[in-house]
Structures are given as structure tokens and as C-alpha cells.
Amino acid sequence: VGVKVIQLDEVGSTNEYAKAIAHEVPEGTVVVAKRQTAGRGRKGRSWASPEGGLWMSVILKPPRVDPRLAFVGALAVVDTLADFGISAGIKWPNDVWVGGRKISGILVEGKAGEYSILGIGLNVNNPIPNELRKNAISMIEFIGSKLPLESVMNRLLMHLDGWYRVFLERPDLLMAKVREKTFILGKPVIVIEGDERISGIALDVLDDGSLLMDIGGQLRRITYGDVSLRLF
Ligand code: BTN
């Protein structure tokens, strides 16, 4: 990961750019932009991407578009934050949180049999707008001074490379680490799946990436899809 890095000043979305070139570039190629004008989040939401944050997409070519690739991104972000002294955890299915606030979001997209795009947004030096302050944080706010974006990116690429190899060779070890870093386990949560709101206790993340919940004594497996999760 990161042998070839395409750096852009401005783009609509690095995920879209990555999809358009996926066929022509080797696996592990990275697209990174200073700003995105149409950054996208999960569930069709937009993703604010002003200058100062790390907005990147990695082009991968694993055998299939595996939703667990999001965990490759999440663990790499958690390790990168640890390198800068920030302790973070994974909020299933695809966010990284620091002290109750979101610092990073991950968006996996792809075309079966062709490519997977691992999109990562990490709030580094970008200020968080007031209306999002309650729920979002950036590294600069936590540390109190500006960080060198380039070294944050290099650390992230290194950790992505490591976790992607673990994913390919020992997905069981990847998932063991995910469980260790998932801070919602044992806690009451609400999962929103379409129009359905499912309240219960988050018990475990299973090897296929799904969430096992205890719903009033009944076990239910929530597959990783277009779901979102709230803490009580
Ligand atoms: C989410 O939390 O909903 C996922 C956010 C993903 C944002 C990243 S930024 C780089 C890449 N390009 C995009 O348009 N989105 C992802």
C-alpha cells in the first residue's frame, strides 16, 4: 500500500477518482486530496472535507469486495492515532471514535471481481464546525497544536499495509484485534437498519464482521450493511 501515491489539490471525491482509475493502476495505489468538493459518507450522506484533513482512497484488488476491509482502515487509523498519543476505539461498523466523538469515517465501495476502494477520512488539522462539535473531533483539538499531515499520512499508509496483509493471510487475527478495539461491546446500543430500530446489548463482532446483539434475551446477528449504530 502506498508505493504509488496520487496527490491532488482538489477533487470531488477521492473514492470516485479512485474508481475511475482502478483498472489502470496497481493494487495499493493511493489517491489523496487536500480538499474534496463532494466528499461522500455512508448512507448517501455528504462528508465535509476542508483543507487540513486527510482524505484518501486506497485501491485494493482482493478476491471480493469484503466489508471487513473497513476494519483494515479502522485499525490502521487507531494505530496511527496511538502513534500520536491518542487513544481511540472502533465504533462498529465503520467509525473511529476518541472520547465519545468521531474522528474518522470509512467508506468501502467496489465492483465485484474487479476492485475495492477503501476510503478513509481522518480529521487532522481541520477545525470542526460548531454544529458538529458535540459529535466530532479532530487531532489538532486533542493535541492542541498543528500536526504534520504528511507524517500522519505516512504512518497511516504503513499501518494500512500491515493490516491489509493480516486481512489477506489471517483474517481471524484481524477480527480478534477488531474485537479488542471495539468499545461498544457489553454496552446498550440502538442499531438502525432501514426503518427498523433495534435496541439491545452489543455482545460481539463475529468473524464475518457482523454484530451479535442480545435483544431482551434473544440473540440476533446484524449484518454489516447500510446500518448505523447509536449508543444510549
Ligand atoms: C462515513 O463516516 O460515513 C464515511 C466517511 C468517508 C469519508 C472518506 S474521505 C475520502 C473518501 N472519499 C470520499 O468521498 N469519502 C471517503
Looking from the CA of 42 toward its CB, the CA atoms found within 13 Å total: 20
Chain centroid offset of residue 113 CA: 22
Identify the residue whose C-alpha is closest to ligand 1 atom 16: 119
Q: Return the closest-CA partner of residue 204 out of 227, 182, 224.
A: 182
Nearest residue to 14 (alpha-carbon basis) of 116, 94, 121: 121
Q: What is the CA radius of gyration of the chain?
A: 17
Q: Count CB atoms within 10 A of the CB of residue 204.
A: 16
Take atom 7 of ligand 1 and give the residue whose Cα is closest: 121
Round to whole Å and give the CA distance between 183 and 202. Answer: 10
- Grid coordinates standing for 230? 447509536
Alpha carbons within 13 A on the beta-carbon side of 127: 3
Domain with CATH 3.30.930.10 in the chain: 5-181
pLDDT given at position 227:
78
Determine the distance separating the centroid of ligand 1 and the alpha carbon of 85, expressed in angstroms: 24
Pairing of strands 196-205, 211-215: antiparallel
ipTM over cut 0.95: yes
User: From first to last of its 232 residues, what are the pLDDT tens digits of the chain?
Assistant: 998 999 999 999 999 999 999 999 999 999 999 999 999 999 889 999 999 999 999 999 999 999 999 999 999 999 999 999 999 999 999 999 999 999 999 999 999 999 999 999 999 999 998 988 999 999 999 999 999 999 999 999 999 999 999 999 999 999 999 999 999 999 999 999 888 899 999 999 999 999 999 999 999 999 977 778 888 7
Does 126 contact ligand 1 (Cβ within 6 A)? no
∠ CA 53-54-58, nearest 5°, is 160
* Ligand 1 contacts CB of residue 57 (under 6 A): yes
CATH of domain 188-231: 2.30.30.100
Question: Which CATH code of 3.30.930.10, 3.50.50.60, 3.30.420.40, 3.40.50.1860 fits the domain covering 5-181?
Answer: 3.30.930.10
Q: Is the CB of 138 under 6 A from ligand 1?
A: no
Q: Nearest-CA neighbor of 149 among 35, 18, 28?
A: 35
Rounded to the nearest 5 degrees, what angle is found at the Cα of 193, between the Cα atoms of 188 and 199?
20
> Is the pTM above the cut of 0.90?
yes
CA distance 142 to 121: 17
Report CA(50)–ligand 1 centroid distance (Å): 12
Q: Considering the chain, tell me which residue range(s) the CATH 2.30.30.100 domain(s) occupy.
A: 188-231
